[in-house]
Amino acid sequence: MGEARRVGVAMDFSACSRAAVKWAVDNVLKKGDHLILVNILPEGREEGTEIQLWEVTGSPLIPLSEFRDPQLVTKKYGTKPDPETLEIVSLAATQKEVEVLLKIFWGDAREKLCEAVDNIPLDCLIVGNRGLGKLKRAILGSVSNYVVNHSSCPVTVVKS
């Protein structure tokens, strides 16, 4: 068939992002696709770390074999994948025969997710929804709403 698709899932290792990755595995991914977990962290200003080099472009694409090691990924990149998410993506890698990668950006989640779509580039993006009410969404803003309206690729919002 065609070239492998790059399916992105916004991942903060919360219950709603786990629901999004589970939905992507069950409904979108096909053999040979790339599942790219896009993790956005607050801006890091740690002196003398590799993070300073990656603040603009994000981390390199991190293979599943590397981010399965929580101590390594926490120390090197400042993020901590949870065991449930690792189990979901590990099963997807073996059962669906997809390549699983992690890409980390630092900054505002709304803006960085839109940048990730173009920088990686992604064919589609799947995001979870915390289910904020109208008032909280108006006050806090909604990452999923922003990404749906500003992304250059199709975005699916999965309600948990």
Q: Identify the helix (H) or strand (E) that includes residue 111.
A: helix 109-119
Nearest C-alpha neighbor of 37 from the set 95, 86, 97, 75: 86
* Residue 129 within any structural domain of the chain: yes
* Residue 32 within any structural domain of the chain: yes
Q: 45: helix, coil or strand?
A: coil
* Residue 1 within any structural domain of the chain: no
Q: What is the model's pLDDT at position 24?
A: 97
* Residue 102 within any structural domain of the chain: yes
What is the Cα–Cα distance from 5 to 154, expressed in whole angstroms? 13
Number of domains into which the chain is organized = 1
* Residue 88 within any structural domain of the chain: yes
Helix 15-27 with 83-95: angle, nearest 10 deg: 10
Q: Model confidence at 4, in pLDDT bands (50, 70, 90)? A: confident
CB 127, CB 156: distance < 8 Å: yes
* Residue 82 within any structural domain of the chain: yes
Compare 58 and 137 and report the one with higher pLDDT.
58
Q: 22: helix, coil or strand?
A: helix
- Give residue-wise pLDDT tens across range 135-156: 544 444 578 888 989 999 999 9
Q: Which residue has the tokens 């699916």?
A: 156
Of all residues in the chain, the percent with pLDDT exceeding 90 is 61
What is the Cα–Cα distance from 4 to 32, expressed in whole angstroms? 6
Report the CATH number at residue 92: 3.40.50.620
Close Cβ partners of 53 (under 8 Å, ≥ 6 residues apart): none
Domain limits for position 17: 6-159
What is the Cα–Cα distance from 53 to 35, expressed in whole angstroms? 24
Q: 104: helix, coil or strand?
A: strand
Inform me whether the pLDDT recorded for 97 exceeds 90.
yes
Tokens of 97: 């025969």
Amino acid present at 118 = D
Inform me whether the pLDDT recorded for 73 exceeds 80.
yes
